[in-house]
Amino acid sequence: MVGSLVNNGRWRLPPARSEEQLQLQTFLTTIDLTEEEDNYEWELGGAQTSRDSTGEVYTYLRPTLPKVSWEAVVWTKRGVPRHNFHLWLVVQDRIPTRDKLLRWRLQVDPLCLLCNGANESRDHLYKDCPFSFDLWTQLATRLRLQPLRSCGGTLNQMIALLKDKPLTRMKSSGSNLVSPPGSIHSYTWA
Ligand SMILES: [Zn+2]
């Protein structure tokens, strides 16, 4: 409680460790304390609220960005969270492929582990690698999709797949992969 930082009418504040903390402490010393009990008050964006909500604070603090076209593909309700998260990293080219590991100065072989024929990168794994493209071709054929050597093109196919009742399409294709695009991707490459 704030009152515990006052002794005999004088503030006993710990040394400030940042400019913000210094400003807060300077402000505190302008407040006249009373003998009343301390109580909490929550204020968010200038408006008082009756309760604290981590979700509301998170929404308030985070930057507001425009929605991306692939949002529905990555964050599907029936998806396996691990697969969804991995696809989210893939779409943003944030998976730790070997080209990135080398940039982080890690001592690794630059060649693709699957084909050993070219340097490993997100685009190689999802577009150019003959091994993974052959795998994707087999799965895409069962889904009646045209296998593309294009990350953006494949992503657009996934977006269209969601609008095209994917479960119906996958069941009729004889596949037992009754999962959304995130899992299609993960079963194929991850
Ligand atoms: Zn490869």
Ligand 1 center from residue 170 Cα (angstroms): 27
Ligand 1 center from residue 169 Cα (angstroms): 29
Q: Please state the domain extents for the chain.
A: 2-61, 71-189
How far apart are the C-alpha atoms of 110 and 107, rounded to whole Å? 9
Ligand 1 center from residue 107 Cα (angstroms): 19
- Asked whether 79 and 161 are in contact (CB, 8 A), the reply is no
Ligand 1 center from residue 43 Cα (angstroms): 53
Ligand 1 center from residue 127 Cα (angstroms): 9
Ligand 1 center from residue 96 Cα (angstroms): 15
Phi-psi region of 45 (alpha: psi -120 to 50; beta: other; left: phi over 0): left
List the pLDDT tens digit at each of the 190 positions of the chain.
666 787 877 888 888 889 999 998 899 888 877 778 877 788 888 888 777 788 888 888 888 888 898 998 898 888 889 989 999 999 999 999 999 999 999 999 999 999 999 999 999 998 899 999 999 999 888 888 899 998 889 888 888 888 765 555 554 444 444 445 565 566 555 5
